[in-house]
Structure 1
Protein backbone atom coordinates (compact mmCIF):
# COMPACT_ATOMS: atom_id res chain seq x y z
CA UNK A 1 0.00 0.00 0.00
CA UNK A 2 0.88 3.62 -0.47
CA UNK A 3 -0.39 5.54 2.55
CA UNK A 4 -0.64 9.34 2.55
CA UNK A 5 -1.82 12.28 4.61
CA UNK A 6 -3.34 15.06 2.57
CA UNK A 7 -4.75 18.52 3.15
CA UNK A 8 -3.70 21.82 4.69
CA UNK A 9 -0.82 21.83 7.21
CA UNK A 10 -2.09 20.65 10.56
CA UNK A 11 -5.40 19.52 9.05
CA UNK A 12 -4.23 16.47 7.07
CA UNK A 13 -6.53 13.50 6.52
CA UNK A 14 -5.47 9.87 6.05
CA UNK A 15 -5.60 8.40 2.57
CA UNK A 16 -4.11 5.86 0.23
CA UNK A 17 -3.09 5.69 -3.40
CA UNK A 18 -4.96 2.90 -5.19
CA UNK A 19 -3.65 0.62 -7.93
CA UNK A 20 -4.65 3.18 -10.57
CA UNK A 21 -2.74 5.96 -8.85
CA UNK A 22 -5.90 7.66 -7.52
CA UNK A 23 -6.13 9.20 -4.07
CA UNK A 24 -8.71 7.57 -1.80
CA UNK A 25 -9.96 8.90 1.54
CA UNK A 26 -9.35 6.72 4.62
CA UNK A 27 -10.86 9.08 7.20
CA UNK A 28 -13.99 6.93 7.47
CA UNK A 29 -11.82 3.98 8.51
CA UNK A 30 -9.03 5.51 10.64
CA UNK A 31 -8.55 8.91 12.25
CA UNK A 32 -4.98 9.38 11.11
CA UNK A 33 -1.83 7.58 10.01
CA UNK A 34 0.36 7.64 13.08
CA UNK A 35 2.18 5.29 15.46
CA UNK A 36 -1.02 3.41 16.33
CA UNK A 37 -1.70 2.55 12.68
CA UNK A 38 1.76 1.23 11.73
CA UNK A 39 1.68 -2.28 13.19
CA UNK A 40 1.51 -5.27 10.84
CA UNK A 41 -1.97 -6.08 12.20
CA UNK A 42 -3.45 -2.69 11.35
CA UNK A 43 -1.68 -2.47 7.99
CA UNK A 44 -3.02 -5.90 6.99
CA UNK A 45 -6.51 -4.76 7.96
CA UNK A 46 -6.22 -1.65 5.81
CA UNK A 47 -4.91 -3.68 2.90
CA UNK A 48 -7.94 -6.00 3.00
CA UNK A 49 -10.38 -3.12 2.55
CA UNK A 50 -11.67 -2.92 -1.06
CA UNK A 51 -9.79 0.20 -2.05
CA UNK A 52 -12.12 0.92 -4.95
CA UNK A 53 -14.97 1.34 -2.43
CA UNK A 54 -13.21 4.15 -0.58
CA UNK A 55 -14.25 7.73 -1.45
CA UNK A 56 -12.28 9.23 -4.31
CA UNK A 57 -10.55 12.53 -3.47
CA UNK A 58 -11.03 15.13 -6.20
CA UNK A 59 -8.51 17.72 -7.27
CA UNK A 60 -4.85 17.86 -6.32
CA UNK A 61 -4.61 18.40 -2.59
CA UNK A 62 -1.35 19.05 -0.80
CA UNK A 63 0.42 16.02 0.65
CA UNK A 64 1.81 16.28 4.16
CA UNK A 65 4.31 14.08 5.95
CA UNK A 66 2.79 10.57 5.56
CA UNK A 67 3.05 9.81 9.30
CA UNK A 68 1.88 11.99 12.19
CA UNK A 69 3.22 12.18 15.75
CA UNK A 70 6.77 11.32 14.73
CA UNK A 71 8.87 10.98 17.88
CA UNK A 72 12.38 10.80 16.45
CA UNK A 73 13.89 11.87 13.13
CA UNK A 74 17.28 10.18 12.91
CA UNK A 75 19.93 10.66 10.24
CA UNK A 76 22.84 8.47 9.16
CA UNK A 77 25.84 10.32 7.73
CA UNK A 78 28.33 9.29 5.04
CA UNK A 79 26.56 5.98 4.37
CA UNK A 80 27.45 5.67 0.66
CA UNK A 81 30.94 4.72 -0.41
CA UNK A 82 30.95 7.17 -3.32
CA UNK A 83 29.55 10.03 -1.21
CA UNK A 84 32.26 9.58 1.44
CA UNK A 85 34.80 9.68 -1.39
CA UNK A 86 33.43 12.91 -2.88
CA UNK A 87 33.53 14.53 0.56
CA UNK A 88 37.15 13.34 0.95
CA UNK A 89 36.31 11.66 4.25
CA UNK A 90 37.23 8.18 5.54
CA UNK A 91 34.78 5.29 5.24
CA UNK A 92 32.96 5.02 8.59
CA UNK A 93 33.57 1.88 10.62
CA UNK A 94 30.28 2.43 12.47
CA UNK A 95 27.20 4.38 11.39
CA UNK A 96 27.47 8.13 11.95
CA UNK A 97 24.31 9.17 13.80
CA UNK A 98 22.72 12.60 14.12
CA UNK A 99 19.24 13.88 14.93
CA UNK A 100 17.04 16.13 12.85
CA UNK A 101 14.64 18.33 14.81
CA UNK A 102 11.00 17.26 14.58
CA UNK A 103 10.16 20.91 13.85
CA UNK A 104 11.97 20.63 10.50
CA UNK A 105 9.45 18.12 9.11
CA UNK A 106 7.51 19.29 6.05
CA UNK A 107 5.44 17.91 3.23
CA UNK A 108 7.15 16.55 0.13
CA UNK A 109 6.24 19.51 -2.07
CA UNK A 110 6.29 22.28 0.52
CA UNK A 111 8.84 25.08 -0.08
CA UNK A 112 12.31 24.78 1.43
CA UNK A 113 13.20 27.96 3.31
CA UNK A 114 16.76 29.17 3.55
CA UNK A 115 17.56 29.82 7.22
CA UNK A 116 18.55 33.28 8.38
CA UNK A 117 22.24 33.82 7.65
CA UNK A 118 22.51 30.75 5.44
CA UNK A 119 25.46 30.58 3.06
CA UNK A 120 25.75 26.86 2.34
CA UNK A 121 22.36 25.14 2.27
CA UNK A 122 22.62 21.80 0.47
CA UNK A 123 20.43 18.94 -0.75
CA UNK A 124 20.49 15.18 -0.01
CA UNK A 125 18.04 12.65 -1.47
CA UNK A 126 17.73 9.71 0.92
CA UNK A 127 15.85 6.49 1.51
CA UNK A 128 13.65 6.95 4.56
CA UNK A 129 12.64 4.09 6.85
CA UNK A 130 9.55 4.34 9.05
CA UNK A 131 9.47 2.14 12.14
CA UNK A 132 6.29 0.13 12.72
CA UNK A 133 6.92 -1.74 15.97
CA UNK A 134 9.20 -1.05 18.92
CA UNK A 135 12.82 -2.07 18.36
CA UNK A 136 15.17 -2.43 21.32
CA UNK A 137 18.41 -4.41 21.07
CA UNK A 138 17.26 -6.22 17.95
CA UNK A 139 19.49 -8.35 15.74
CA UNK A 140 20.23 -7.62 12.11
CA UNK A 141 18.25 -10.75 11.23
CA UNK A 142 15.12 -9.54 13.05
CA UNK A 143 15.38 -5.84 12.16
CA UNK A 144 13.24 -5.89 9.02
CA UNK A 145 10.09 -6.99 10.82
CA UNK A 146 10.16 -3.72 12.78
CA UNK A 147 9.75 -1.67 9.57
CA UNK A 148 6.33 -0.30 8.62
CA UNK A 149 7.50 1.07 5.29
CA UNK A 150 9.78 3.26 3.23
CA UNK A 151 9.64 6.80 1.87
CA UNK A 152 11.63 9.56 0.20
CA UNK A 153 13.48 12.08 2.39
CA UNK A 154 15.33 15.24 1.39
CA UNK A 155 17.87 15.73 4.16
CA UNK A 156 18.42 19.46 3.64
CA UNK A 157 21.64 20.54 5.35
CA UNK A 158 23.29 23.90 6.03
CA UNK A 159 26.99 23.02 5.71
CA UNK A 160 28.40 26.05 7.52
CA UNK A 161 26.13 25.36 10.49
CA UNK A 162 26.99 21.65 10.27
CA UNK A 163 30.77 21.74 9.94
CA UNK A 164 31.99 25.21 10.88
CA UNK A 165 29.90 26.08 13.94
CA UNK A 166 31.17 23.45 16.37
CA UNK A 167 31.41 19.67 16.45
CA UNK A 168 27.71 18.74 16.33
CA UNK A 169 25.92 18.20 13.02
CA UNK A 170 22.40 18.65 14.42
CA UNK A 171 22.19 22.44 14.08
CA UNK A 172 22.93 22.20 10.36
CA UNK A 173 20.23 19.57 9.90
CA UNK A 174 17.22 20.76 11.85
CA UNK A 175 16.29 24.19 10.49
CA UNK A 176 12.63 24.80 9.60
CA UNK A 177 11.58 23.00 6.37
CA UNK A 178 14.80 20.92 6.31
CA UNK A 179 12.92 17.61 6.46
CA UNK A 180 10.61 17.01 3.48
CA UNK A 181 9.19 13.47 3.83
CA UNK A 182 6.91 11.64 1.41
CA UNK A 183 4.87 11.79 -0.77
CA UNK A 184 3.74 8.48 0.72
CA UNK A 185 4.71 5.62 2.94
CA UNK A 186 5.11 2.44 0.89
CA UNK A 187 4.57 -0.58 3.13
CA UNK A 188 7.50 -2.94 3.37
CA UNK A 189 5.68 -5.81 1.65
CA UNK A 190 5.78 -3.78 -1.58
CA UNK A 191 9.49 -2.94 -1.41
CA UNK A 192 11.11 -6.22 -2.35
CA UNK A 193 14.72 -5.05 -2.65
CA UNK A 194 15.35 -1.95 -0.49
CA UNK A 195 19.07 -2.50 -1.10
CA UNK A 196 18.66 -2.05 -4.88
CA UNK A 197 16.71 1.19 -5.26
CA UNK A 198 17.74 3.99 -7.62
CA UNK A 199 17.77 7.54 -6.20
CA UNK A 200 18.03 10.87 -8.01
CA UNK A 201 17.85 14.61 -7.46
CA UNK A 202 17.61 17.38 -10.03
CA UNK A 203 18.26 21.07 -9.45
CA UNK A 204 16.63 23.46 -11.93
CA UNK A 205 16.23 20.55 -14.36
CA UNK A 206 19.86 19.39 -14.14
CA UNK A 207 20.66 15.98 -12.68
CA UNK A 208 22.83 16.45 -9.61
CA UNK A 209 22.53 13.15 -7.75
CA UNK A 210 22.26 9.64 -9.14
CA UNK A 211 22.85 6.56 -7.08
CA UNK A 212 21.60 3.24 -5.78
CA UNK A 213 21.06 1.91 -2.30
CA UNK A 214 23.28 -1.04 -3.24
CA UNK A 215 26.19 1.35 -2.61
CA UNK A 216 25.24 1.86 1.05
CA UNK A 217 27.98 1.07 3.56
CA UNK A 218 25.50 -0.07 6.21
CA UNK A 219 22.27 -1.76 5.12
CA UNK A 220 18.86 -0.85 6.50
CA UNK A 221 18.75 -3.89 8.85
CA UNK A 222 22.26 -3.07 10.07
CA UNK A 223 21.24 0.53 10.76
CA UNK A 224 18.12 -0.46 12.69
CA UNK A 225 20.01 -3.04 14.74
CA UNK A 226 22.79 -0.56 15.48
CA UNK A 227 20.48 2.27 16.53
CA UNK A 228 18.44 -0.07 18.72
CA UNK A 229 21.53 -0.72 20.86
CA UNK A 230 21.59 2.94 21.90
CA UNK A 231 17.95 4.04 21.82
CA UNK A 232 14.55 2.42 21.67
CA UNK A 233 13.02 2.90 18.23
CA UNK A 234 9.31 3.56 18.50
CA UNK A 235 6.49 3.28 15.94
CA UNK A 236 6.53 6.36 13.74
CA UNK A 237 10.23 7.10 14.12
CA UNK A 238 11.85 8.05 10.81
CA UNK A 239 15.40 7.16 9.80
CA UNK A 240 17.12 8.89 6.87
CA UNK A 241 19.72 6.38 5.73
CA UNK A 242 22.29 8.50 3.89
CA UNK A 243 22.76 10.07 0.48
CA UNK A 244 24.55 9.16 -2.77
CA UNK A 245 27.15 11.46 -4.40
CA UNK A 246 26.31 14.75 -6.09
CA UNK A 247 25.61 17.04 -3.13
CA UNK A 248 26.46 20.70 -3.56
CA UNK A 249 29.25 20.58 -1.01
CA UNK A 250 31.01 17.85 -2.97
CA UNK A 251 30.94 19.56 -6.35
CA UNK A 252 33.76 21.53 -7.96
CA UNK A 253 33.04 24.37 -7.73
CA UNK A 254 30.68 23.99 -4.78
CA UNK A 255 27.04 24.82 -5.45
CA UNK A 256 24.56 25.71 -2.74
CA UNK A 257 20.85 26.48 -2.80
CA UNK A 258 19.61 30.00 -3.40
CA UNK A 259 16.24 31.70 -3.58
CA UNK A 260 14.38 30.69 -6.75
CA UNK A 261 15.98 27.26 -7.14
CA UNK A 262 13.75 24.26 -7.80
CA UNK A 263 14.46 20.68 -6.69
CA UNK A 264 12.93 17.47 -8.00
CA UNK A 265 13.93 14.20 -6.39
CA UNK A 266 12.73 10.66 -6.00
CA UNK A 267 13.38 6.97 -5.44
CA UNK A 268 12.24 4.16 -7.71
CA UNK A 269 8.86 2.89 -6.52
CA UNK A 270 8.64 5.37 -3.64
CA UNK A 271 7.47 8.49 -5.45
CA UNK A 272 8.81 11.95 -6.13
CA UNK A 273 9.17 15.28 -4.33
CA UNK A 274 9.53 18.78 -5.71
CA UNK A 275 10.39 21.93 -3.78
CA UNK A 276 10.81 25.62 -4.49
CA UNK A 277 13.57 27.31 -2.51
CA UNK A 278 12.44 30.49 -0.79
CA UNK A 279 14.12 33.16 1.32
CA UNK A 280 13.95 33.21 5.12
CA UNK A 281 10.60 34.30 6.50
CA UNK A 282 9.93 35.35 10.09
CA UNK A 283 6.78 33.60 11.26
Structure 2
Protein backbone atom coordinates (compact mmCIF):
# COMPACT_ATOMS: atom_id res chain seq x y z
CA UNK A 1 0.00 0.00 0.00
CA UNK A 2 1.43 3.36 -0.98
CA UNK A 3 0.72 6.78 0.36
CA UNK A 4 -1.29 8.90 -2.07
CA UNK A 5 -1.32 12.64 -1.69
CA UNK A 6 -4.87 13.88 -1.62
CA UNK A 7 -5.24 17.50 -2.64
CA UNK A 8 -8.00 19.62 -1.23
CA UNK A 9 -10.85 20.34 -3.63
CA UNK A 10 -10.56 23.75 -5.27
CA UNK A 11 -12.36 26.53 -3.45
CA UNK A 12 -15.71 27.33 -5.01
CA UNK A 13 -15.66 30.69 -6.73
CA UNK A 14 -17.87 33.30 -5.10
CA UNK A 15 -20.91 34.35 -7.17
CA UNK A 16 -20.33 37.92 -5.98
CA UNK A 17 -17.78 40.67 -6.34
CA UNK A 18 -16.77 42.22 -3.02
CA UNK A 19 -16.43 45.91 -3.84
CA UNK A 20 -15.16 48.88 -1.86
CA UNK A 21 -17.52 51.80 -1.38
CA UNK A 22 -15.94 54.98 -2.80
CA UNK A 23 -18.63 57.64 -2.24
CA UNK A 24 -22.00 58.03 -0.53
CA UNK A 25 -24.43 60.92 -0.87
CA UNK A 26 -27.67 61.24 1.12
CA UNK A 27 -30.13 63.32 -0.88
CA UNK A 28 -33.05 63.17 1.56
CA UNK A 29 -34.13 61.08 4.53
CA UNK A 30 -35.48 58.58 1.99
CA UNK A 31 -32.97 58.60 -0.90
CA UNK A 32 -29.24 58.12 -1.23
CA UNK A 33 -26.66 57.28 -3.89
CA UNK A 34 -23.37 55.45 -3.64
CA UNK A 35 -20.48 54.50 -5.86
CA UNK A 36 -18.28 51.42 -5.71
CA UNK A 37 -15.13 50.36 -7.48
CA UNK A 38 -15.63 48.63 -10.83
CA UNK A 39 -14.01 45.23 -11.37
CA UNK A 40 -11.73 45.26 -14.42
CA UNK A 41 -13.60 42.36 -16.04
CA UNK A 42 -17.12 43.71 -15.39
CA UNK A 43 -18.96 44.61 -18.59
CA UNK A 44 -22.54 45.82 -18.95
CA UNK A 45 -24.83 47.72 -21.29
CA UNK A 46 -26.12 51.12 -20.20
CA UNK A 47 -29.53 50.61 -18.58
CA UNK A 48 -28.93 47.11 -17.19
CA UNK A 49 -29.35 46.07 -13.55
CA UNK A 50 -27.35 43.86 -11.22
CA UNK A 51 -27.80 42.30 -7.79
CA UNK A 52 -26.45 44.40 -4.91
CA UNK A 53 -26.31 43.40 -1.27
CA UNK A 54 -24.55 42.80 2.01
CA UNK A 55 -23.42 39.67 3.86
CA UNK A 56 -26.07 38.16 6.09
CA UNK A 57 -25.88 39.07 9.74
CA UNK A 58 -24.52 36.39 12.06
CA UNK A 59 -23.13 34.36 9.18
CA UNK A 60 -26.47 34.12 7.40
CA UNK A 61 -27.05 34.17 3.67
CA UNK A 62 -26.30 37.42 1.85
CA UNK A 63 -29.25 39.77 1.34
CA UNK A 64 -29.45 41.06 -2.23
CA UNK A 65 -31.81 43.15 -4.33
CA UNK A 66 -31.85 44.20 -7.98
CA UNK A 67 -30.43 47.66 -8.62
CA UNK A 68 -30.18 49.51 -11.91
CA UNK A 69 -26.67 50.72 -12.64
CA UNK A 70 -26.75 54.52 -12.74
CA UNK A 71 -23.36 54.78 -14.45
CA UNK A 72 -22.90 54.55 -18.24
CA UNK A 73 -21.12 51.51 -19.61
CA UNK A 74 -17.85 53.44 -20.07
CA UNK A 75 -17.56 54.76 -16.49
CA UNK A 76 -14.69 53.58 -14.30
CA UNK A 77 -16.96 53.53 -11.23
CA UNK A 78 -20.37 51.99 -10.62
CA UNK A 79 -23.09 54.21 -9.17
CA UNK A 80 -26.40 53.14 -7.65
CA UNK A 81 -29.48 54.96 -6.37
CA UNK A 82 -31.45 53.58 -3.44
CA UNK A 83 -34.41 54.27 -1.22
CA UNK A 84 -34.16 54.00 2.55
CA UNK A 85 -36.59 51.67 4.27
CA UNK A 86 -36.19 51.78 8.09
CA UNK A 87 -37.15 48.14 8.57
CA UNK A 88 -36.07 46.88 5.13
CA UNK A 89 -33.95 43.71 5.27
CA UNK A 90 -31.32 45.30 3.01
CA UNK A 91 -31.77 49.07 2.87
CA UNK A 92 -32.00 49.47 6.66
CA UNK A 93 -28.33 48.41 6.65
CA UNK A 94 -27.25 49.60 3.20
CA UNK A 95 -28.15 53.21 4.00
CA UNK A 96 -25.47 53.18 6.72
CA UNK A 97 -22.55 52.31 4.43
CA UNK A 98 -19.57 54.66 4.31
CA UNK A 99 -16.55 55.02 2.03
CA UNK A 100 -14.21 52.11 2.68
CA UNK A 101 -16.99 49.65 3.49
CA UNK A 102 -17.63 46.60 1.30
CA UNK A 103 -20.78 45.67 -0.60
CA UNK A 104 -21.58 42.58 -2.64
CA UNK A 105 -22.42 42.72 -6.33
CA UNK A 106 -23.54 39.92 -8.63
CA UNK A 107 -21.32 39.12 -11.57
CA UNK A 108 -24.00 39.02 -14.26
CA UNK A 109 -25.76 42.23 -15.30
CA UNK A 110 -28.98 41.90 -17.27
CA UNK A 111 -32.09 43.80 -18.27
CA UNK A 112 -34.35 45.11 -21.01
CA UNK A 113 -33.87 48.87 -20.54
CA UNK A 114 -31.16 48.98 -23.17
CA UNK A 115 -30.89 50.53 -26.62
CA UNK A 116 -30.52 47.07 -28.16
CA UNK A 117 -34.18 46.35 -27.28
CA UNK A 118 -35.48 49.31 -29.30
CA UNK A 119 -35.79 49.78 -33.04
CA UNK A 120 -34.68 53.03 -34.63
CA UNK A 121 -36.59 56.26 -34.08
CA UNK A 122 -36.28 60.03 -33.90
CA UNK A 123 -37.09 60.72 -30.25
CA UNK A 124 -36.27 58.67 -27.12
CA UNK A 125 -38.45 59.09 -24.03
CA UNK A 126 -36.98 57.92 -20.71
CA UNK A 127 -39.95 57.91 -18.32
CA UNK A 128 -39.37 57.10 -14.65
CA UNK A 129 -40.77 57.58 -11.16
CA UNK A 130 -38.73 57.76 -7.95
CA UNK A 131 -35.58 55.65 -8.10
CA UNK A 132 -36.68 54.57 -11.58
CA UNK A 133 -34.51 57.48 -12.68
CA UNK A 134 -31.38 55.36 -12.16
CA UNK A 135 -31.17 53.63 -15.55
CA UNK A 136 -31.81 56.94 -17.32
CA UNK A 137 -28.68 58.37 -15.68
CA UNK A 138 -26.84 55.57 -17.45
CA UNK A 139 -28.58 55.74 -20.82
CA UNK A 140 -28.44 59.56 -20.92
CA UNK A 141 -24.64 59.47 -20.66
CA UNK A 142 -24.10 56.87 -23.38
CA UNK A 143 -22.78 58.27 -26.69
CA UNK A 144 -24.83 55.73 -28.64
CA UNK A 145 -28.02 57.30 -27.31
CA UNK A 146 -27.27 60.56 -29.10
CA UNK A 147 -26.09 58.92 -32.27
CA UNK A 148 -29.32 56.92 -32.55
CA UNK A 149 -31.84 59.59 -31.51
CA UNK A 150 -32.07 63.26 -32.40
CA UNK A 151 -33.87 64.14 -29.16
CA UNK A 152 -33.78 62.51 -25.71
CA UNK A 153 -36.44 63.41 -23.11
CA UNK A 154 -35.93 62.38 -19.46
CA UNK A 155 -39.26 62.47 -17.57
CA UNK A 156 -38.98 62.11 -13.79
CA UNK A 157 -42.09 62.05 -11.58
CA UNK A 158 -41.75 62.29 -7.78
CA UNK A 159 -43.89 63.19 -4.77
CA UNK A 160 -42.02 66.26 -3.49
CA UNK A 161 -39.64 68.79 -5.02
CA UNK A 162 -36.85 67.53 -2.76
CA UNK A 163 -37.17 64.14 -4.44
CA UNK A 164 -36.04 65.62 -7.77
CA UNK A 165 -32.54 64.35 -7.18
CA UNK A 166 -30.09 64.80 -10.06
CA UNK A 167 -32.27 67.72 -11.21
CA UNK A 168 -29.29 70.08 -11.38
CA UNK A 169 -27.19 67.45 -13.13
CA UNK A 170 -29.78 66.71 -15.81
CA UNK A 171 -30.54 70.40 -16.30
CA UNK A 172 -26.98 71.67 -16.61
CA UNK A 173 -24.30 69.47 -15.03
CA UNK A 174 -24.47 66.87 -17.77
CA UNK A 175 -23.44 69.57 -20.26
CA UNK A 176 -19.95 69.41 -18.73
CA UNK A 177 -19.63 65.67 -19.29
CA UNK A 178 -16.35 65.18 -21.18
CA UNK A 179 -17.80 62.51 -23.47
CA UNK A 180 -21.37 63.58 -24.28
CA UNK A 181 -21.68 67.10 -22.88
CA UNK A 182 -22.13 68.87 -26.22
CA UNK A 183 -24.62 66.29 -27.47
CA UNK A 184 -26.64 66.46 -24.23
CA UNK A 185 -26.77 70.25 -24.39
CA UNK A 186 -28.19 70.11 -27.90
CA UNK A 187 -30.39 67.01 -27.67
CA UNK A 188 -31.39 66.30 -24.04
CA UNK A 189 -34.55 67.68 -22.42
CA UNK A 190 -35.33 67.18 -18.72
CA UNK A 191 -39.03 67.16 -17.77
CA UNK A 192 -39.80 66.77 -14.03
CA UNK A 193 -43.27 66.52 -12.48
CA UNK A 194 -44.28 66.62 -8.80
CA UNK A 195 -47.48 65.06 -7.44
CA UNK A 196 -47.83 66.26 -3.83
CA UNK A 197 -46.48 69.82 -3.83
CA UNK A 198 -47.01 72.92 -5.97
CA UNK A 199 -44.77 72.82 -9.04
CA UNK A 200 -44.68 74.32 -12.52
CA UNK A 201 -45.45 70.92 -14.06
CA UNK A 202 -47.64 69.22 -11.43
CA UNK A 203 -49.19 65.77 -11.37
CA UNK A 204 -48.56 62.25 -12.56
CA UNK A 205 -46.82 61.79 -15.88
CA UNK A 206 -49.66 59.58 -17.11
CA UNK A 207 -52.17 62.37 -16.49
CA UNK A 208 -49.98 64.84 -18.38
CA UNK A 209 -49.75 62.39 -21.28
CA UNK A 210 -53.54 61.97 -21.38
CA UNK A 211 -54.25 65.70 -21.16
CA UNK A 212 -51.62 66.51 -23.77
CA UNK A 213 -49.86 68.87 -21.34
CA UNK A 214 -46.60 66.94 -21.68
CA UNK A 215 -46.45 67.50 -25.42
CA UNK A 216 -47.64 71.12 -25.28
CA UNK A 217 -45.06 71.97 -22.63
CA UNK A 218 -42.32 70.63 -24.89
CA UNK A 219 -43.71 72.14 -28.08
CA UNK A 220 -44.20 68.70 -29.63
CA UNK A 221 -47.03 67.09 -31.61
CA UNK A 222 -49.55 65.57 -29.21
CA UNK A 223 -49.28 61.82 -28.65
CA UNK A 224 -46.70 59.16 -29.35
CA UNK A 225 -45.95 57.98 -32.89
CA UNK A 226 -44.80 54.43 -33.74
CA UNK A 227 -42.76 55.90 -36.58
CA UNK A 228 -41.06 58.58 -34.50
CA UNK A 229 -41.08 57.81 -30.77
CA UNK A 230 -39.29 55.17 -28.70
CA UNK A 231 -39.95 54.84 -24.97
CA UNK A 232 -38.34 53.25 -21.91
CA UNK A 233 -40.26 52.85 -18.63
CA UNK A 234 -38.97 52.33 -15.09
CA UNK A 235 -40.45 53.03 -11.66
CA UNK A 236 -43.68 52.18 -9.90
CA UNK A 237 -45.65 49.22 -11.16
CA UNK A 238 -48.77 51.36 -11.47
CA UNK A 239 -47.03 53.94 -13.68
CA UNK A 240 -45.40 51.33 -15.87
CA UNK A 241 -48.60 49.39 -16.50
CA UNK A 242 -50.67 52.52 -17.09
CA UNK A 243 -48.13 54.10 -19.43
CA UNK A 244 -47.66 50.85 -21.33
CA UNK A 245 -51.41 50.75 -21.96
CA UNK A 246 -51.30 54.34 -23.23
CA UNK A 247 -48.41 53.51 -25.55
CA UNK A 248 -50.22 50.47 -26.91
CA UNK A 249 -53.19 52.72 -27.56
CA UNK A 250 -50.96 54.90 -29.72
CA UNK A 251 -49.86 51.82 -31.65
CA UNK A 252 -46.44 51.27 -30.07
CA UNK A 253 -45.32 47.67 -29.54
CA UNK A 254 -43.29 46.35 -26.64
CA UNK A 255 -39.75 45.24 -27.43
CA UNK A 256 -37.20 42.93 -25.85
CA UNK A 257 -33.60 41.88 -26.29
CA UNK A 258 -34.74 39.05 -28.53
CA UNK A 259 -37.19 41.15 -30.54
CA UNK A 260 -36.61 44.94 -30.45
CA UNK A 261 -39.70 47.13 -30.47
CA UNK A 262 -41.07 50.63 -29.90
CA UNK A 263 -41.02 50.67 -26.09
CA UNK A 264 -39.51 48.60 -23.27
CA UNK A 265 -40.07 48.07 -19.57
CA UNK A 266 -38.25 45.98 -17.00
CA UNK A 267 -40.35 42.85 -16.48
CA UNK A 268 -38.04 41.72 -13.66
CA UNK A 269 -39.31 44.67 -11.62
CA UNK A 270 -42.94 44.62 -12.74
CA UNK A 271 -43.76 40.94 -12.34
Question: Comparing both structures, which one devotes a greater share of its residues to helix?
Answer: 2
Bigger Rg, which one: 2
Higher relative contact order (CA 8 A, sep 6+): 1
